[in-house]
A and B are shown apart, each in its own frame.
Chain A
């Protein structure tokens, strides 16, 4: 069984998600701009309070949502995309590793969230710590031996050794 965490297909999917988020931000911005234009065209002294309240609510919600998209979605995605592109273009290490534990703790590494994997290098019994992207469905079994390909200690690919 082989698991590809970082691959050309994955990079393509990340780009598609990134473009989708940019399109969401641009689309909602244009919708807000249209609302603002309508407000300035239609408002008058008797309706100004309604427009101010409505505009404040919509603008606040838009800013809050956009800030969430930037901070929680777009930023880690772009960091992981950049890391993935670098990883595929550089020399990667391959080790045969017996998996000791798949960590449940999440840490931020290079701008994206990562989980820890602990294992021992099969030949030299060196204790190894690897990271992998936190939302990845890494179905590795503890005690089994895998050939793990990494870049900067982040797992690119894992394949179970017979």
Chain B
């Protein structure tokens, strides 16, 4: 019995089983693309994310400046997510981007709602408090006001709706637009998300201190 391939058999094979061959090519691509792109996907400890509630970004250089500074520490991506406090889809944006962001700038009224049940430890455990050690490590001078929950400082005030002198001393409005015409002014706070792995050693689950570096840079940049 001769079984050597010949042109006719090969031609018949491609005509009869063409659909299967296309399926093979598709399956091969998926089999290679999916695991390799998963292996090479940017990990949480390789990115720094900001979630802002504001009426617009005034400084577009933060992203590129931070990336340039932190590349040697293994950071490959810096993302800024900015949504208006009045956006009807803000909650879904927060669920999608905010919960995975290292830094959150949220309106005081939203914090009041989040921390309404002050006795609950679950919401407090989602944020890294501004402990005295963290403040000493990141702030040349601690003249900030804080959003306090159970005597712990969870939010650093970045905009005071009723005290213009605070905003002059801490000009975070160089980065973010906190007011909009026709909208009642609100104070804004910076929170540190404990769900990300970048707050070592101030968060026990963290694996890098990249967000601490960013906090130091951020506070120095806007004062």
Q: Distance in Å from the Cβ of A148 to the closest Cβ of chain B?
A: 19
Stretch at the interface among B21-29, B127-135, B139-147, B177-185: B21-29
CA distance A48 to B28 in the complex (A): 15
Of residues 169 to 219 in B, which have CB atoms within 8 Å of A's CB atoms? none
Chain A hits for B25, CB < 8 A: 56, 60
Chain A hits for B13, CB < 8 A: 68, 71-72
**Contact between chains at B3 and A48 (CB < 8 Å):** no
* Given A56-B29, A64-B21, A17 contacting B40 (CB threshold 8 A): no
Is A122 part of the binding interface, using a Cβ–Cβ cutoff of 8 Å?
A: no
Tell me the number of A-to-B contacts counted with CB atoms below 8 Å: 75
Q: Mark B1-28, 1 if CB is under 8 A from A, else 0.
A: 1110100011001000100110011011
Chain B hits for A10, CB < 8 A: 1
- Tally of A interface residues using CB under 8 Å: 32
Is A151 part of the binding interface, using a Cβ–Cβ cutoff of 8 Å?
A: no
Given A39-B32, A59-B32, A136-B1, 19 further pairs, Cβ under 8 A = A10-B1, A39-B36, A40-B35, A43-B40, A44-B40, A45-B40, A48-B40, A51-B36, A52-B32, A52-B36, A55-B28, A55-B31, A56-B28, A59-B28, A60-B28, A63-B28, A67-B20, A77-B1, A135-B2
Name B's A-contacting residues (CB within 8 A): 1-3, 5, 9-10, 13, 17, 20-21, 24-25, 27-29, 31-33, 35-37, 39-40
8 closest A-B pairs by CB: A59-B28, A135-B2, A55-B32, A63-B24, A60-B28, A73-B3, A60-B25, A56-B29
Name A's B-contacting residues (CB within 8 A): 10, 13-14, 17, 21, 39-40, 43-45, 48, 51-52, 55-57, 59-60, 63-64, 67-68, 71-73, 76-77, 80, 112, 133, 135-136
